[in-house]
Amino acid sequence: MNAISRDTAIDWRHVGTIDDIPAQGARCVRNGAMTIAVFRTADDRIFALEDKCPHRNGPLSQGIVHDGCVTCPLHNWVISLETGAAQGADEGRTASFPIRLDGRDIYLNLTA
Amino acid sequence: MTKQKLVIIGNGMAPGRMLEHLFDLAPDAFDVTIFNAEPRVNYDRIMLSPVLSGEKSFDDIVIHDDAWYAARNIALHKGHKVVAVDRDARTVTSAGGITAAYDKLVVATGSNPFIIPVPGHTLPGVLAYRDLDDVEGMTRAAAAGGRAVVIGGGLLGLEAAAGLKAQGMDVTVLHLMPTLMERQLDPAAGYLLQKELESRGIEVICGANTKAIHGQDKVEQVELEDGTLIDASLVVMAVGIRPNTQLARDAGLEVQRGIVTDTAMRTSDPDIFSVGECVEVDGRVYGLVAPLYQMAKVAATHLSGASDTAFAHAETPTKLKVTGVNLYSVGEFGDGPGFEDIVLRDANRGTYKRIILKNNKVIGTVLYGDVADGTWYNEFLKSGEDVSALRDTLIFGQARQGTGTADPLAAIANLSDDAEICGCNGICKGTIVNAIRDKGLSTLAEVRAHTKASASCGTCTGLVEGVMALTLGDQFAKKAEGMCGCTDLGHGDVRRLIVAKGLKSIPAVMQELEWKTSGGCAKCRPALNYYLLSDWPGEYRDDQQSRFINERVHANIQKDGTYSVVPRMWGGMTSSDELRAIADVVDKFNIPDVKVTGGQRIDLLGVRKEDLPAVWEDLNKAGMVSGHAYAKGLRTVKTCVGSTWCRFGTQDSTGLGIKLEKFLWGSWTPAKVKLAVTGCPRNCAEATCKDIGVICVDSGYQIVYGGAAGLHIQGTTELGTVKTEEEVIEIAGAMTQMYREQGFYLERIYKWAERVGYDTVKAAILDDLDSRRAYYERFVHSQKFSQSDPWSERVSGVDKHEFKPLAVFGDAPATIVTEPAE
């Protein structure tokens, strides 16, 4: 029951603290060739998405964060921070990553 | 046929409206002469409160401008008070000595404010609240600060109090009666109103009897009967009005409380009519605009020929014009035999609704907080319909009547054609619908112009828009859209309310203006950030997270996520040192492309975000600063070489361009601003398609503006020609400031000028030197807070987080924390 199975273990990586990210802003985490955007909302929730808009690969980390979404800086697609799905009439989805807040520390799971 | 001579004494709203009707009915019947004791044109007196609070300007409330009188050949003697009427000779004579003969005379002398004759009432600093002079006096007093004491807690007094508070004064309202507005509100609603005003920092003392006003050379204190002393630098008396009947009395007309007329508005002399607050008809005198407008219409029809229209008394609903306070009352609300009440209160929402019935008919209503159904109840009051069938649900309003829908449009759709929409002007729904259909009206402004609906106090604007939406369908819905999905308010309303309510942060705007989302969106946040920055220079702190990325990192994002960097080249001039520094930066940071822009400078394309601060540092060292190529602000001032080199050049266009760029750079504007200065009319610098252009000529500088050369192409409009560079600079600063204060976010100068009118811009910036100077000075003030190079700020560490990744994995592994999944 309490045996740890390798398959279900998750690598939580410390990437910084919530204070490193401005409220309604984002910072990037580089993981090899991939960039992951870590968002902080006005009410201090944390989300992680691949830093690529499903439309034309715009860097979502550079967008405006509002009400649980981010608006892509290139062509104003609105992407849900929780699911990575494009909102409204647009269709597409950006990969999202498990992330959690422990006190003020942020842990990101890169294995998903 | 020779025209008859019509003379009008007084130029308030009632005679103004009478003339409109008269010119509609009989445009060629009269030569008109008006004597106005006030030195100005006809304006909307009931809108003085928004002028006092700063929500509107005097120009906004002018009903008839000088051109209106000129077009109708009306002789308007401004500042001429009539002192005598000679009924035998049929002439009137003014204090200035002008005598005019009449065939028909209209006396519209209005009313005088009642001043309580307590000791000290003649001290400087004691004002009434009646005309623009009073408002200007109050505005001046407010600028000096201190406490204002408003005597009188009725409609006018409370509007004055709210306006003075908005102007930054401490305000105390003294009211003789136990509750506010006791003539229009019952004690319950009066209490809610008092609570609301107190929550806005206005002190209210009811049951307060003023004993004396003290002061040496001007007002210093107000003393109450109970001995209380209140410091005051301004006292406003708003305790009532009295019909101004002296002139009529002297002329021997029948006068009681007011000038007595029959229901055709004729006085005891059949050739003399009277309209307005000076009139007593059927034993009543009036102070609200709706009955006065009815008098105007009746008088006009009788003047234009035989008519059987007659003035008839009707209950007029009352509304208070204080932004954010909603109250409505009409008819009876006291206690009386057979009166029955239906009352609904919601303490949390601060709403109160009361309907007064007698014999199953509505005889009055008092609404506070939720006033949407006021018009509906007033319909029952006017029709005298038996409401027993509706009685159980009446208080819940029209939207709750059987249909089960709360759609506000449905409520308007259910109104009958003769339901009154605009109380001030007595305009019913059918009139508006017909005007929209017959005249093809599609905007609120057009509907106001043609029907007058919502053109006076404006509180029925929502209803009028509702009628328009129903009549026009989708065609109107598009025009009525708010600035984004987060609000129904348009940009103009939001800008106005930010200033009027003194809102100084994005959360404050969203709270006070009832944003529908918790944190706005990518459309409204940048707009609000700009409005606040523009309206509160030096006070508002720029919200970086509400800016588009380009303005946040002071570079232009490209399709691959890299950035482009454009250093400023003042007036398009550069040097070998600057070019060498740029070349070194390109080599050092492996910048893939270098391009010469249309704005006469150099663009470095493909810079990685992490490299931006280092690139800027090197450019800064060579003396270059940000070119704001990314900003809703001044981009470039394009120039030609002018008289320095060119054989056709008439002035130093390059030098002037550099001066303009050094003066204007750094300011945030609603959209980008591009200038050009060209040395002669050959226009090599292409000044005639810029937001603001200067064309040098031998005699000086021709200034043009409102050009566009993007998706939309349009040549500039001429503003005028001036003689010196200093004037050019002052005008450019003033125009930029006017645009900054009035423009909607993302609205270029040409669109703004089209919206407000090129003539308006010209009048404010070129013709009126005081206005130009005031705009210029506000611009100079705001520039104190905006002219610092954003690049050097970031080189020295501002917004460091923007340019560095939070963490890097791959080559440099971080600590791994492992824990079991559930």
pLDDT tens for A13-40 read 999 999 999 999 999 999 988 999 999 9
Contact status, residue B20 vs residue B71, Cβ threshold 8 Å: no
- The Cβ of residue B290 has, within 10 Å, a number of other Cβ atoms equal to 18
Alpha helices in B75-152, H assignment, sequence order: 132-144
Lowest mean pLDDT among B51-55, B520-524, B540-544: B51-55
What does the alpha-carbon distance between residue B713 and residue B707 come to, in Å, rounded to a whole number? 8
Query: Does the structure show a pLDDT above 60 at B403?
Result: no
Q: Does A15 touch chain B (CB under 8 A)?
A: yes
Residues of B in contact with A2 (CB under 8 A): 820
A110 near B CB under 8 A: yes
Contact pairs from chain A to chain B, CB under 8 Å: 117
- Please choose, from the candidates B666, B670, B638, the residue with its C-alpha nearest in 3D space to the C-alpha of residue B654: B638
The residue with greater pLDDT, B211 or B517, is B211
State which amino acid sits at residue B93.
T
CATH class for the domain made up of B550-621: alpha beta
Interface touch A107/B522, C-beta < 8 Å? no
Q: What pLDDT is recorded for position B514?
A: 82
pLDDT band at B118 (very low <50, low <70, confident <90, very high): very high
Chain B nearest C-alpha distance from A78 (Å): 9
Inter-chain contact A29–B518, Cβ cutoff 8 Å? Answer: no
Distance to chain A for B623, nearest Cα, Å: 29
The closest CB to that of B805, out of A12, A30, A76, belongs to A30
Q: 45-84 in A: which are within 8 Å (CB) of B?
A: 56-59, 62-67, 71, 73-74, 76, 78
pLDDT band at B813 (very low <50, low <70, confident <90, very high): very low
Q: Does B559 contact A74 at a Cβ distance shorter than 8 Å?
A: yes
In 3D space, the residue among B193, B238, B230, B233 whose CA is nearest the CA of residue B212 turns out to be: B230
Which has the higher per-residue pLDDT, B376 or B568?
B568
B81 has pLDDT over 90: yes
**3-state SS class at B693:** strand
Residues of A in contact with B821 (CB under 8 A): 8-10
Specify the 3-state DSSP secondary structure of B643: helix
Boundaries of CATH 3.90.480.10 in chain B?
A: 550-621
Sign of CA dihedral B727, B733, B734, B739: positive
Answer yes or no: do A13 and B557 touch at CB < 8 A: no
Q: Does domain B126-239 have CATH number 3.30.379.10?
A: no
CATH 3.50.50.60 segments of chain B: 4-110+243-288, 126-239
Q: Which residues of A touch B559 (CB under 8 A)?
A: 56, 58, 74
Please give the Cα distance from B18 to B475 (Å, whole number). 34
User: Rounded to two decimals, what is the model's pTM?
Assistant: 0.58
Tell me the shortest Cα–Cα distance from A96 to chain B, in angstroms: 17
What are B's interface residues with A at a Cβ cutoff of 8 A? 517-522, 525-526, 544-550, 552-553, 557, 559, 561, 801, 805-810, 814-821
What average pLDDT does range B418-430 have in this prediction? 82
Instruction: Kindly report the CATH number that applies to the domain delimited by A10-109.
Output: 2.102.10.10
The interface pTM score, or ipTM, of the predicted complex is: 0.87
For B482-506, the pLDDT digits (tens) are 888 888 888 988 998 898 888 999 9
d(CA B12, CA B289): 11
- Put simply, the answer to whether B545 touches A11 (Cβ < 8 Å) is no
> Residues spanned by CATH 3.30.413.10 within chain B?
634-783
Q: Quick count: other Cβ atoms within 10 Å of Cβ A45?
A: 14
Q: Collapsing DSSP states into helix, strand and coil, what is residue B432?
A: helix
Percent of chain B beyond pLDDT 90?
56
Q: Do A28 and B806 touch (CB under 8 A)?
A: yes
* CATH number of the structural domain B4-110+243-288: 3.50.50.60
Minimal Cα distance from B810: which residue of A?
A: A32
Longest dimension (CA), chain A: 50
Query: What dihedral angle (degrees, nearest 10) is formed by the CA atoms of B391, B393, B399, B403?
Result: -100
Residues of A in contact with B561 (CB under 8 A): 57-59, 62
Mean pLDDT across B262-275: 95
User: Nearest-5° angle of CA B537, CA B540, CA B543?
Assistant: 125
Cα distances from B748 to residues B56, B738, B751, in angstroms, run 23, 13, 5
Quote the distance between the C-alpha of residue B798 and its chain's center: 38
Residue B763 pLDDT more than 90? yes
- Please state, in angstroms and as integers, the Cα–Cα distance from residue B745 to each residue in A32, B549, B741, following that order: 40, 16, 11
pLDDT tier at B682 (50, 70, 90 boundaries)? very high
Beta bridge partners of B473: none
Cβ–Cβ gap A66/B520 under 8 Å? yes
Q: Report chain B residues whose CB lies below 8 A from the CB of A35.
A: 805
Residue B818 has a pLDDT of 37
Query: Order of strands across the sheet with B717-722?
Result: B634-639, B673-678, B692-697, B700-705, B717-722
Residues of B in contact with A24 (CB under 8 A): 519, 545-546
All residues of chain A having their beta carbon less than 8 Å from the beta carbon of residue B814 are: 13-15
Strand B30-36 to strand B4-9: parallel, antiparallel, or no bridges (unpaired)? parallel
pLDDT digits (tens, 9 = 90+) for A48-98: 999 999 999 999 999 999 989 999 999 889 999 999 999 987 889 999 999
Q: Is the pLDDT of residue B772 over 90?
A: yes
Q: How far is residue A87's CA from residue B305's CA, in Å, rounded to a whole number?
A: 66
Predicted confidence at residue B799, as pLDDT, reads 87
Q: Do the Cβ atoms of A71 and B522 come within 8 Å?
A: yes
Q: Is B376:B460 a contact under the CB 8 Å cutoff?
A: no
Question: Per-residue pLDDT for B600 more than 70?
Answer: yes
pLDDT at residue B548 tops 60: yes
**Predicted confidence band at B773 (pLDDT cuts at 50, 70, 90)?**
very high
With an 8 Å Cβ cutoff, are B809 and A24 in contact? no
The ranges assigned to domains in chain A are: 10-109
Percent of chain A with pLDDT over 90: 72
pLDDT recorded at residue B372: 81
- Is A11 in contact with B814 (Cβ distance < 8 A)? no
Q: Is the pLDDT of residue B671 over 90?
A: yes
Contacts of B806 in chain A (CB under 8 A): 15-16, 20-21, 27-29, 38
Least confident of A2-11, B241-250, B638-647: A2-11
What is the total residue count of chain A?
A: 112
Question: Which homologous superfamily is B634-783 in?
Answer: Sulfite Reductase Hemoprotein, domain 1 (3.30.413.10)
* Averaged confidence pLDDT in chain B: 89
Tokens of B134: 């009073």
Positive or negative: CA dihedral B490, B493, B498, B502: negative
Query: Residue B424: is its pLDDT beyond 80?
Result: no
Strand ranges for B199-258 from DSSP E: 202-206, 210-214, 221-224, 229-231, 234-237, 241-243
